[in-house]
Structure 1
Amino acid sequence: MTTTLSPGKWRGLMTTATASQTFAILAFDQRGNYRQLLPEDATFADAVQIKQQVVSALSPHASAVLLDPVYGLGAAQHMAGSSGLLMAIEKTGYSGKATARRVDFIEGWDVGKIKQMGASAAKVLVYYHPDAGEATQHIEDVVRELAAQCRQHDITFFVEPVTYSPDEALPKDSPEFASQRPEIIQETVRRLGEAGADVLKIEFPIDVKYETNHDVWRAACEAVSDACPVPWALLSAGVDFDVFLQQVQVACEGGASGFVGGRAIWKDAIPLDEAARTEFLASVAVERLKKLRAVVEKDGKPWTDFYTPIPTVEAWFHQYT
């Protein structure tokens, strides 16, 4: 069963996807993690220029680019016209306790401005666990409110839930949490998909430090797809490229619609000098994107399996608000 999408959301998905209606999206909305990769004496202008350089080189090979308003305006204005634009709306990091995380927003920045600047989609990153009590309810309320704002502005809405542990005695990188991770992500996509996300950008459902069997990976991805009412794409979470490529392959075989990948593609370029960075981007990074894109175009699940456009009837625009 498919859901009917409004014209703006339909166009937003069309412009962020490949010709096969899958996602090969370059993520460079990082701020804190990005600054850590830069030299200590790097200025704001340096951060803007390097981000612009990376995006200018890689955007022709991506179906879309995800950027932030802090450092990303220059990149948005110099990226390939063939790529869609997603803009992040949240502040980097989180507020509240580490075991009860909340999301905050960039002052002076909202869904209306994202639409106004010509972006195809708005994206929010939320730290989420389905059993974190009031923190869980806070995140679900935020997603519903942002979904309503995106409907009002008729813009596509991507939601990026990142898991965490609400139990100090159970760290996220522990084998005990890893054993719970598949079910946590299944419940997360079910709830946040129902809360109004058009697309979910999610972590790999298996902690590959503890499980290397690709059949187990694939089964976990299939379970996510069964639980998820909307298309989902895989985030890279800072893993090395070779690992991410394997994850994307298995995820797409298991029902994912593509990837939204960042540091796995470009992180090695940031510490280089400008000449070396230019060479790396034109060779290694472009080749990485091409390999990932080939996988999703061959094996990814088209987002059109989930959505249909409104019917074209006479004077349809009278009802369009």
Structure 2
Amino acid sequence: MTQTLTPGRWRGLATTSSDDNIFTILAFDQRGSYEKMLPKGTDYDTAVGIKVETVNALAPAASAFLLDPQYGLLPMLATPRNAGILLALEESGYSGDSTYRKVAFYDGWSVAKIKAAGASAVKLLVYYHPESGALAEEIEGVVRDTIEQCHQYDIPLFLEPVSYSLDAAVSKSSAEFAAARPAVVRETARRLGALKPDVLKLEFPTDADFDSDMASGQAACETISAICDVPWVLLSAGVDFDVFAWQVEAACKAGASGFLAGRAIWKEGVVLPAEERSRFLQGTALSRLRRLSEIAGEHARPWTDFYQPILASGTWFKEYSS
């Protein structure tokens, strides 16, 4: 059953997706991880410049760009007029310890400012584990509050829940966590999808280091689509491009509405000298993004399968409130 979207949220999804209503979004909202990738001694202007260069090079193949408030103003202003913009609401990282992760926010940054700055959508990343008890409920409360704010300003929310281990002795990269991961991602999608963010940005449910079988990955993605009443897109989580390409195909064949990916596309370019970086971005990175867009265009489910706009009438504006 389709849900009705208000005009701002409908337009926000339309401007961040392709002509076929598929999300082919380039993410470059990394901050902490980006700083670790940069050569030692890189100054702020250079860090911003690399993001601007990446946006300019990949604009021909992206339906939208996900950027951050810290480094993202100039890249946002550099985007072409036909590309949507998502801005991250959360601060990079988290508060609390590694097994008890809370959302951190910037002082002076808000949904209202994201809307006022001209963005098409808000992105919120939360670290979430469905078995974390009271903390999971607290995170769900943060999500509800953010959804309410997005509805107030009539701007769509892309919600990105990222899993983590609740046991300090069990790494997320371990075989033990990999075995639990499909159930964790599926239950996360069920619980947070029920809160009705406009789009879920999800991890691939299987860990390619332990299960590289596309068929099993697609089956795991199908269980997500079966319980999810909102469109979802796949995040890259820093995996190598060849891995992400088959994950995108599996996810989209299983009902995902596209991808929202960053490091799998551009990560090698960050450390390259300027001329080499330019060639990499305009060659390898652009080819990667185009390939992913082709895969999504062929297999993904349009977000319009989930939503319809409000009915038009001569008096719609009287009832409309944002």
In the superposition, the TM-score normalised over structure 2's length comes to 0.98
Judge conservation of contact 1:89–1:124 (CA < 8 Å) in 2.
yes
Q: 2:144 aligns to what?
A: 144
**Structure 2 residue matching 1:154: 3-state secondary structure:** coil
Counterpart CA distance in 2 for 1:60 and 1:146 is 31
State the Cα distance separating 1:314 from its structure 2 match: 1.8
1:263 aligns with 2:230: no
Contact 2:235 2:259 in 1 (8 A): yes
Contact 1:143 1:196 in 2 (8 A): no
| Corresponding position of 2:48 | 48
Shift of 1:289: 0.6
Counterpart in 1 of 2:32? 32
1:246 counterpart residue number: 246
1:117 is matched with: 117
Q: CA deviation at 1:39?
A: 1.2
In the alignment, which residue of structure 2 is the partner of 1:167?
A: 167
For the Cα contact (< 8 Å) 1:187–1:227, is it kept in 2? no
Where does the alignment leave 5 or more consecutive residues of structure 2 unmatched? none
Counterpart residue type for residue 320 of structure 2: Y
2:191 and 2:306 map into 1 onto residues whose CA distance is: 17
Separation of aligned partners in 1, 2:313 and 2:80: 34
Q: Deviations over 1:125-184 (max 9, x none)?
A: 100000101211111000000000000000010000000111223322222221111111
Shift of residue 190, structure 1, vs aligned partner: 1.2
Distance 1:242 1:276 in 2: 21
Q: Which runs of 5+ in 1 are unaligned?
A: none
- Distance in 1 (CA, whole Å) between partners of 2:70 and 2:172 is 29
Q: Do the aligned partners of 2:61 and 2:290 also contact (CA within 8 Å) in 1?
A: yes
The reply on whether 1:83 has 2:83 as its aligned counterpart is: yes
Look up the equivalent residue of 1:58 and give its one-letter code.
L
| 1:128 aligned partner | 128
SS in 2 for 1:143: helix
Query: What residue identity is the alignment partner of 1:308?
Result: Q
Q: Residue 77 of structure 2: SS of its match in structure 1?
A: helix
The within-5 A match list for 1:1-321 is 1-321=1-321
User: Percent identity, aligned pairs only?
Assistant: 51
Q: Give deviations 1:44-75, integer Å, cap 9, x for gaps.
A: 11111111111111122100000001001000
Q: Does the 8 Å CA contact 2:140/2:192 hold for their aligned counterparts?
A: yes
Shift of 1:102: 0.3
> How far apart are 1:104 and its partner, in Å?
1.0
How many Å apart are 1:41 and its aligned residue? 0.9
d(CA) in 2 for partners of 1:78, 1:178: 39
Deviation sequence 1:274-315 (CA, Å, 0-9, x none)? 111111111111100100000111100000110010000121
Q: TM-score, normalised by structure 1?
A: 0.98
Aligned-partner SS, 1:82: coil
Check whether the contact 2:48–2:71 (CA below 8 A) recurs between aligned residues. Answer: yes
Once the two structures are TM-superposed, the CA of residue 97 in structure 1 deviates from its matched residue by 2.0
